[in-house]
Amino acid sequence: MTRMVRIIFLVAVIVGTAFAQNTDWRSWPVRIFTPRPYDVLHYRIEMRFDHPRKQFFGVTTITLLPVGESLSSCTFDAEVLEVQSATSSDGRPLAFTQRPGSVTVHFPREISPAETVQVTIRYEGKQIEIDPERWGVSNNYHLGIEFFDSTAAHPALISALSFPTGARHFFPCNDHPADKATQEMIIEVPAGWKALSNGTLLDVRPSASGGSVYHWYLRQPHSTYLSQLAAGPYVVLRDSLGSLPLSFWVYPRDIADAPRSFNRTREMITFFEGVYGVKYPWDKYDQITVPGIGGGAEATTATNLSQNTIHDKRAEQDFPSHWLVAHELAHQWWGNFVTLKDWGHTWINESFATYSEYLYSAWSLGDDEGALNLHEKRQAYFREARTKYRRPIVLDRWQFPNQNFDSHTYPKGANVLHMLRMEIGEEAFSAFLKAVLTKHAYGSATTDDLLRRAEQAAGRSLEWFFDQWLRKPGHPVLNVSWRWDEAGQSVFLRVEQKQDTSDGTSIFTFPVFVGLTTATGHSVAQIRVTRASEEFRLPSPERPILVEFDEPHIILAEVSFPRSSGELILQLERGNALSRILAAQELAPLSDDPVVDAVLRKASREDTFWGTRRAAINALSARSASVEEFLKDRIGDPSSKVRAAVVRKLSSLKSPRLVSFLIERFDEESSYVVQAELVRAIANIAHPAVKPFLVKASQLNSHRDLVREAALQGLKDLTE
């Protein structure tokens, strides 16, 4: 039996209607970058700490060169720093004026553009709570130095967050990404501690207080927001890639588990060198785990990673570190080696690093995983576009720099790069990546710079591509339909762009591959959409039994495409991995149909890709016959992601008969995530036998405390 079902790909909204916009980015102030009249050449930063009092003491020597005009004074960014003195290179005192957020040093005479000048500033500071409204950050967010007391999760330690405006919170500087300088950091730490910073470790010597002094030197220029400082009782695990030193700084308790998170680093460096066409551009690479961050924060030659990235063997199936390690490693090229000129060009950092996640995923785990990775990134952008705003990726408006770091910059930008790769071809795209990195090495770049490199690689104008995808907001919202012309042996495909263009969103131009499956074969036709409404004629010797729009899933678009259940079943049976996942999702409204139920069950048992099996489980109707027994059988799937979906579906049945089965399964389950889902399912059934189980589960340890938190929430729900 075949029925018609109208499916809207990707989002459950009516195509063409306005999205809810909760943030008006047009009200943000316009930012015009005005460089300061000097270029910092080098920072020498000396730091010591009083951990119990959460104080720090610093001496920063800044070597700079006037640019374009003589200088009688220099102003540096300086937050939470109490400046005590300023001196010249010969030790003579210099007058200074300190205001909130800055310190201005006055010279006894004008310094000409031909002269190099050196200023030494002595200061002290302490950890303070950051005003969220002033800096545009969440509560309990720290910029600059943070002192961590010893807890069950980590030892006492010190870590600095320099991104995006944190450097000025622990040393005076020109805290803007466009001013790049070499750097050395001399860090005094207590006995038993080690200290990490950027560059090469020149020396470790005893301090007068009985501790140690670490002297790090970065010989290539970088931006202040990439400055690294971390210290504590770390254990350093060492590795290498040829002559390149690699080190992993972890807490003593994590020695055994740390290799699980970092053991692909060498492979990733080699992979990215091949993709980018440029060797790793620094003298070493360190990765260090710290508290207080959720993912990672790149720094030149030394990446900060959340302490939660370290995990035991059981957690590997659900919490692999490779995507995070790959993203932050990619920044050593995209962001650190070539840096955004100003915060509005954040995509130069984050879109490329996020796309690199996809590239590594597809290479290391296979094309199916890669396709799902990119699809999930599209969904993240669409969620933000629906609920928050649609803004241009490249924007000269912001209240705070970190407003540029959102789902437009990360996942949307990654998908834009994927479409650029399709538009200009593999060879030109590789040439584009290499040209950006080589022509802007150790410098900064703008979107216009990247446009020029892309056009040179492609040999044609790409102004239109950058304009519609990067400089303007939004994305295509499409109505697609097809009809068969038997006399002309052709498929006529109609494509209508329904996006709201009142906010500056384009009528887009883009190529699309259309898959045509007939009873005797499969072919792919390429069309180029250029107008708001147009129809394309696709020759076909016989009527297709399945038409797929954007079969390789490249275009960043929301698509409404009515197809019959018969077409969707064929797509589920014959399509590529992502096509099968989408077909299962689209069949969900018809899952009460016995024919649809049968094909979903078959896919959940037999499909070779876990993503399709999970989608098929999610699409099953809880009302279908024998679904409980079928799901109990599928709870043994080899993928923890599928098993978690099975448990969630079983939970929706609310059957008391399941309590003993789920409790028994809990003891057999190897995944913390699935165990947490089992706890929630058991609590959801609210059977008399549930409470003792929840009490027991609340005492268990698991990665990120998943099981305990699920059990405690279940106990709370039972008492309310």
If you average pLDDT over residues 287-314, what whole number do you get?
96
- Strand 157-161 to 229-232 pairing: antiparallel
The pLDDT, as a whole number, for residue 624 is 84
pLDDT of residue 12: 29
pLDDT in tens, 617-665: 999 999 888 999 999 999 999 999 999 999 999 999 999 999 999 999 9
Cβ distance 285 to 301 under 8 Å?
Answer: yes
- Calculate what percentage of the chain has a pLDDT beyond 90: 92
**C-alpha span between 371 and 377 (Å, rounded):** 10
Cβ atoms of 123 and 62 closer than 8 Å: no
Given a cut of 90, whether residue 573 has pLDDT beyond it is yes
What fold, for 240-333?
Neutral Protease; domain 2 (1.10.390)
Q: Tens of pLDDT along 215-255? A: 999 999 999 999 999 999 999 999 999 999 999 999 999 99
> Taking residues 206-211, what's their average pLDDT?
96
d(Cα 348, Cα 536) in Å, to the nearest integer?
36
| Res 16: pLDDT | 35
Mean pLDDT of 157-165: 95
- Predicted pLDDT of residue 140: 59
Lowest mean pLDDT among 15-29, 304-318, 352-366: 15-29
Whether 57 has a pLDDT exceeding 50, the answer reads: yes
Q: Is residue 5 scored above 50 in pLDDT?
A: no
pLDDT tens column, 58-75: 999 999 999 989 999 999
Q: Token digits for 452? A: 């020029």
Positions of CATH 2.60.40.1730 in the chain: 31-233
pLDDT of residue 131: 73
**Residues 656, 687 contacting (CB under 8 angstroms):** yes
CATH superfamily of the domain spanning 31-233: tricorn interacting facor f3 domain (2.60.40.1730)
The answer to whether the Cα torsion of 124, 166, 89, 231 is positive or negative is: positive
CB neighbours of residue 156 within 10 Å: 15
Please tell me the predicted confidence (pLDDT) of residue 242. 97
Domain 626-720 in CATH 1.25.10.10 = yes
Beta-strand relationship, 117-126 and 55-66: antiparallel
- Flag whether pLDDT at 49 surpasses 60: yes
pLDDT at 303: 97
What average pLDDT does this structure show over 528-539?
98
Fold of 338-471: Neutral Protease; domain 2 (1.10.390)
- What digits encode the pLDDT tens for the residues 81-122? 999 999 999 999 999 999 999 999 999 999 999 899 999 999
Model pTM score: 0.95
Q: Where in the chain is the domain with CATH 1.10.390.10?
A: 240-333, 338-471
pLDDT of residue 114: 86
How far, rounded to the nearest angstrom, does the alpha carbon of residue 32 sit from its chain's CA centroid?
A: 27
Q: Does the structure show a pLDDT above 60 at 11?
A: no
Percent with pLDDT over 70 in the chain: 96
Is the backbone peptide bond immediately before 245 cis, with ω within 30 degrees of 0? no
All CATH 1.25.10.10 domain ranges of the chain, comma separated, are: 626-720
Q: Helices in 277-403 by DSSP H: which ranges? A: 322-330, 347-365, 367-387
Mean confidence (pLDDT) of the chain:
94
